[in-house]
Structures are given as C-alpha cells and as structure tokens.
Amino acid sequence: MVSRRSHQKSRTGCAQCKKRRIKCDEVRPACTNCIKHSITCDFQTGNSETSSPLHPPKLIKHASGSDSPGSARPAKKPRPFVANSLQPGELHLGDLELLHQFVTETCYTTSNRPDSHELWRVTVPREGFHHDFLMRGILAVAALHLSHLRPDRALEYQHIANHHSDRALGGFQAAITDMNEVNCHAFFALSSLIVVYNFASPRTPGSLSFTYEGQDSTNWLAMIRGVNSILMPSWPWVENGPLRGLLQPGVFDTTETRLPKPADHQLRQLAELCESAAGGDEAVGAYTAAVKALRKCFAKIFTRSSVECEIGTAFTWPVEVPDKFIQLQQARAPEALIILAHYCVVLHHLDNYWWMKGWAAHLMDNIYSELTGTWREWIEWPSTVIARNESPVRHGPTNPNSIFYG
C-alpha cells in the first residue's frame, strides 16, 4: 500500500482553500490556487485570519535590471487587488481603483485635444463595459500610469498591468477575426491603448524595442504599422461611429514641406546620404521614401494648429515608411538608424506625456551605441536638439540659441 505524501498543514491559509480542502501557499495578495481558479481570495479583502505584507508573485525588473529602490521592503499598507473579472454580488476594489484612475486622470493624457478627452473619459469606458478586452486594456494602462505616479508601488502596479494586458491581448486576438460594425470601435480604442501601453512599459538598456516581463518584444515601428493595418478595413465604420471624434482627418494629406533652415539643411543632407547608400536600388528607394515622409512629419508638427492632435501627427511617419525600411532598421543598417535618429526629434516633442517620457533620449543613446566611427557624426544634430530639450513647436524655439530654428 502506497502511503500518502505528508505535508505540513496550513492553519493560516485563505478561506477558499480551506473550504475546498486543499493546501494554501499563502502567497499575497492572492494565493496561487485562487488565481488559478479565478476566484476572489480573502487575502485580497483582508478577511483572512492573519495578515502579511503585500508580495506580488511576479514582478517586472526596471530598466537597470534590478528592483526599484525600496522594493525589497514590504509595502506599508497592503491594498486589495483583484485580478479576475467582476462577479455578481462582488466588489473588486483593485479594478475599481484602476477605472477611477483612468476616468479622472489617465484619460486626459492620451491626447492634447480637449474635444477628445470626454470621449476617452466617458465613451471609451462605456464601450469597455460591452467588450472585456477593451476594459482590460483600460485597466492595464491605468495601472501603468499609477506605477508612474506612485514609484514606491511601481512593481506592484506593473504586475497588475501585465495581468490585464495579457487578458486584453488574448481577447483582442480571439475576436479580431470577427471584427464588425458593432465591435470595431472597441478594437479602435484598444489599438490606441496598445501603443500607449507599450511605450509606457519599462525599457531595456541597449535595446531599440519594447520590454515585456524582462524580454525584448516586437519592434515598435512594426507594432504601430501593424495596428494601423488591422484597423484599415473597419475605418468607414469608425468614421461614422461614437469614437469618430478621435480621428484626425487629413493627417496624411499634408503637402507642406517648408521647415526652419537648420532642420531643412539636415534633411537635405540626409537625402544626399540616402542616394549613395549601400544595399542596391530597393534600399535606396526605401531610405529616400523614409526621408520624404520624415520631412512631411516635421512640417506637419511645425505648422499644425492647436486643435490638431500632435500624437496622431507624430505617428504618421511609422505608418508611411516602406516595409523595406522597417527591415533595414531591424537589421541595424547605419543609414536606417541615422534616419530613425532624426525621427527622434519628433518623438522628443511628445516627451511631456508620461508614457513617452525619455523615449527619444533612450533611442538616441542606443542608436549611438549601434553606430561606429564617422557614422556617429550624422546624428550630432538630433542628439543636440534632444540634449538641449528643444522641440519643433510652431510657437518658436525654447531658447534664443536654438539650433532647430537657427
């Protein structure tokens, strides 16, 4: 007769495990068994027989590769976090906290257009109540925003954000094959939140990509292009739907190419570099098209009106460059990296958004590391613009010695 394997009884486990007569591992804020079965653990609500400091079971490392200062210390005030969806008769305060954060603060950080703020505050969450994947995306972005606002709890909120992001992307992928006139608005809203989420996620030194749970993920240029291509079939529905106010008509139609002299000079030199680039006619064509699109993007940022969305304008360039350019950039071709470095000047214009903060400087540092010898001379101008904290805004230079305006 085979004897049963002995184990130490848990007298301080959660009530759910005791009720099911299984061993509780007592992990906080929710034990593994409760997470696995998507039920509320009473550790989360403070109804367990004992209490212990909050220890998320899975944490993201910071860009330095180590936990944030003080992360080894227990949180002073454990707060409830519920990972599973709302169940009848239950209030999941963790998710409600995230939704409150989104509608009171985060919704105002997705655009500079006041008319779109109400759509993000009211209409997008309303769509989320009908589409779980969108609500998960809302909660994920709100959690990352809280990790930015509350650095002492950054790892906790990053862990929560990852959970909701996984669910959002899983639902997105499962439903994308059945995109229709009803659910396309939720897909459109989530596509914007995916961009915000990826840029807001922790960055890895030495990488030009996003980081997800410590691993490099997709190339961000390809991500923006992919999101746009997925939504293209539904564009007529979105244009006539409840979120049509988030669109920026004509953002790709500008014919304005005039620039301040220093910027114009730099892009002309960049075009000359592309004409003699290695890789054959296809590569030269890709570089030339990328510089032409960059000139349009610069001009649009420089001349845009106050009611035009600077974020939508800035992200036109990744959508307009040829597929071949994306391949060359992923292969770390020097010419592609130099063009990308000049695009960082546009990204730096978005540095006042919490989810874009530091991205331009991060990319510039890594591009500099990738380039060698005289190639580095080609990125001196964008490096200086970013280092001086200058921006191609239409109201003029940030200082009288601006090298952007001359």
pLDDT at residue 202, as a whole number: 83
* Strand ranges for 54-155 from DSSP E: none
Distance CA 245, CA 387 (A): 35
CA angle 167, 173, 177 (to 5 degrees): 145
Dist. CA 39–CA 85, nearest whole Å: 9
Tens-digit pLDDT profile for residues 158-195: 999 999 999 999 999 898 888 999 999 999 999 999 98
What distance in Å separates the CA atoms of residue 146 and residue 269, rounded to the nearest whole number? 43
* Residues 357-368: tens digit of each pLDDT: 999 999 999 999
CA 11, CA 389: separation in Å to the nearest integer? 58
Determine phi and psi for 316, rounding to 5 degrees. -70, -35
Q: How far is CA 190 from CA 122, 172, 208, 359, in A?
A: 15, 8, 23, 21
pLDDT for res 233: 84
What is 74-86 written as a DSSP string? PPSS------SPP
* pLDDT number for residue 207: 57
In this prediction, residue 171 carries a pLDDT of 92
Digit-coded pLDDT (tens) for 378-389: 999 999 999 988
Q: How confident is the model at residue 91 (pLDDT cuts 50, 70, 90)?
A: confident
| % of residues, the chain, pLDDT over 90 | 43
**How far apart (Å, rounded) are the C-alpha atoms in residues 23 and 182?**
45
Contact 94, 80 (CB under 8 A): yes
What's the whole-model pTM score?
0.71
Phi first, then psi, for residue 249 (nearest 5°) are -60, 140
Contacts of 34 (CB under 8 A, 6+ apart): 14, 16, 17, 40, 41, 43
- For 283, other C-beta atoms within 10 Å of its C-beta total 19
